[in-house]
């Protein structure tokens, strides 16, 4: 028997207070499992958990050649209808490939990206838009939906979501994982491009019934930039699935094994690991570490050309991306985990996405993050952070020495229902999202059209 919203209220107060029947949301997200980067885990978890809070889900996404996390797709079986649409650029230039910072490959990549962004607007996924809109119209015509939820980025998602919500006269909710038009980095080739981005973003934000962002400051800035009431801008951070706590293990065996520092996920093109490699090189030159006593393992897309330029390749192991349900097995063999964040905007406006899975292990985190930023404070409050300015090789070296001395220490205990962890428990976060959707259909059932 179908569970109604009112029946949900009996076990979860505050959910479904406005409607007696289940709702349905169309999630527009070009990036989605089986990918593992670019916001795929966030939207995958939203789609998986929303049905437990009275919201059925249709996902409009792209068909990708790189399929890493099939388990995440399998977990959606029976919980979400997934509509995949061929995306031309995803076939030509798959996401998640290594992004070297040095050498001819880096120069060629930057030139190609500059040329592409000069010609293609708002992003390379714009070629996906016509087919996505057509598929979305078919999905909305076949089954009644109550809300469209479009996530940025890419920005093409906003175009698709706005067109579909307007065509069917239903509310639009926009989710920002990053700022775009006001992003304080030179991501646009000209002022004309940035101005056009601001107009497109403003149109989506003003049409939206609610704004969602991954951190409070981002939510406030989006509201302010586009003349919206701050009460319409809600922060729903990334977080962890409490069920993953059962996957955590500590597989370290043997006193003579090397200390293992592990990084999982994408090495963002904005990350500058040069100070980190210089710190490792300095420790090696002094004989403090050898490849037999210290190993750095990257599970993801590290460009080895950058490692070779610092002469530390003997210390480094690399492997491909792994599905999310397997990443905790990798964590089990680590003594500490490595986290990197670009200073400035990223520190103040968001959290490093992988920090939440790292927290569940209770193991030390070598955090190359800005002092006082969101990630810095979370790691400090969880008492696992060993932080250093990501631009300061000497500070990074001191942190590495500090953490090396912890070899063999047991992980800290983690309770997902106490601070600081409870605020990032994804079940609570999806409950919050469901409440936002409930409020939207209760107050603006036909959107802002």
Query: Within 318-383, where are the H helices?
Result: 324-332, 345-349, 355-361, 374-382
Q: How far apart are the first and last CA of the chain?
A: 35
Residues contacting 154, CB < 8 A, separation 6+:
30, 31, 122, 123, 124, 125
Neighbours of 257 (CB within 10 A): 15
From the number of C-beta atoms within 10 Å of its C-beta (0-12, 13-18, 19+), residue 380 rates as middle
pLDDT of residue 99: 56
Residue with tokens 């190359």: 368
pLDDT of residue 355: 96
User: Average pLDDT per run of 10 along the chain, which is 449 residues long?
Assistant: 31 44 96 86 95 98 81 90 89 54 56 60 92 98 98 95 98 96 86 93 97 96 95 96 93 88 88 94 97 94 86 94 89 96 91 94 97 96 97 97 95 94 96 98 95
pLDDT of residue 100: 62
What is the side-by-side strand order in the sheet with 147-152? Answer: 80-86, 55-63, 23-28, 147-152, 172-176, 210-213, 233-235
Domains and CATH numbers, the chain: 5-239+425-443 (3.40.50.2000), 242-423 (3.40.50.2000)
pLDDT of residue 5: 30
pLDDT of residue 69: 83
pLDDT of residue 9: 30
pLDDT of residue 18: 43
Q: In this predicted model, what pLDDT tens digit does every residue of 427-444 receive, in sequence order?
A: 999 999 999 999 999 999
pLDDT of residue 102: 60
pLDDT of residue 111: 53
């Amino acid at each position: 028997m179908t569970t109604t919203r009112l029946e949900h209220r009996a076990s979860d107060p505050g959910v479904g207070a406005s409607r007696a029947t289940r709702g349905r949301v169309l999630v527009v997200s070009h990036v989605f499992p089986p990918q593992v980067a670019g916001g795929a885990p966030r939207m995958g978890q939203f789609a998986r958990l929303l049905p437990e809070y009275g919201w059925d889900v249709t996902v409009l996404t792209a068909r990708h050649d790189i399929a890493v996390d099939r388990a995440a797709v399998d977990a959606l079986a029976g919980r979400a209808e997934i509509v995949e649409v061929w995306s031309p650029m995803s076939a030509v230039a798959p996401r998640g490939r290594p992004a070297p910072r040095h050498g001819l490959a880096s120069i060629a990549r930057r030139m190609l990206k500059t040329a592409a962004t000069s010609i293609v607007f708002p992003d390379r996924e714009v070629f996906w838009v016509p087919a996505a809109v057509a598929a979305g119209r078919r999905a909305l015509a076949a089954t009644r939906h109550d809300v469209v939820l479009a996530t940025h980025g890419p920005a093409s998602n906003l175009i698709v979501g706005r067109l579909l919500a307007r065509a069917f006269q239903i509310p639009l909710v926009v989710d920002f994982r990053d700022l775009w038009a006001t992003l304080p980095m030179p991501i646009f080739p000209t002022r004309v491009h940035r101005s056009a981005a601001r107009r497109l973003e403003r149109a989506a934000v003003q049409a939206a019934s609610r704004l969602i962002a991954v951190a409070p400051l981002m939510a406030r800035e989006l509201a302010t930039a586009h003349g919206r009431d701050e009460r319409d801008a809600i922060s729903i951070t990334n977080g962890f699935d409490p069920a993953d706590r059962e996957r955590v293990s500590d597989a370290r065996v043997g006193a003579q094994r090397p200390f293992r520092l592990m990084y999982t996920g994408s090495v963002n093109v904005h990350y500058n690991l040069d100070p980190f490699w210089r710190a490792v090189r300095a420790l090696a030159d002094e004989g403090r570490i050898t490849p037999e006593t210290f190993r750095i393992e990257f599970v993801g897309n590290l460009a080895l050309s950058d490692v070779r330029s610092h002469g530390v390749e003997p210390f480094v192991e690399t492997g491909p991306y792994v599905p999310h349900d397997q990443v905790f097995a990798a964590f089990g063999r680590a003594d500490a985990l490595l986290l990197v964040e670009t200073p400035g905007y990223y520190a103040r406006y968001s959290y490093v996405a992988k920090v939440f899975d790292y927290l569940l292990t209770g193991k030390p985190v070598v955090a190359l993050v800005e002092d006082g930023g969101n990630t810095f404070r979370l790691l400090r409050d969880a008492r696992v952070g060993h932080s250093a300015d990501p631009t300061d090789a000497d500070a990074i070296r001191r942190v590495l020495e500090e953490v090396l001395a912890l070899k063999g220490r047991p992980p800290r205990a983690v309770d997902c229902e106490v601070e600081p962890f409870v605020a990032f428990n994804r079940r609570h976060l999806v409950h919050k999202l469901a409440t936002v959707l409930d409020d939207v259909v209760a107050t603006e059932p036909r959107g802002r059209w």
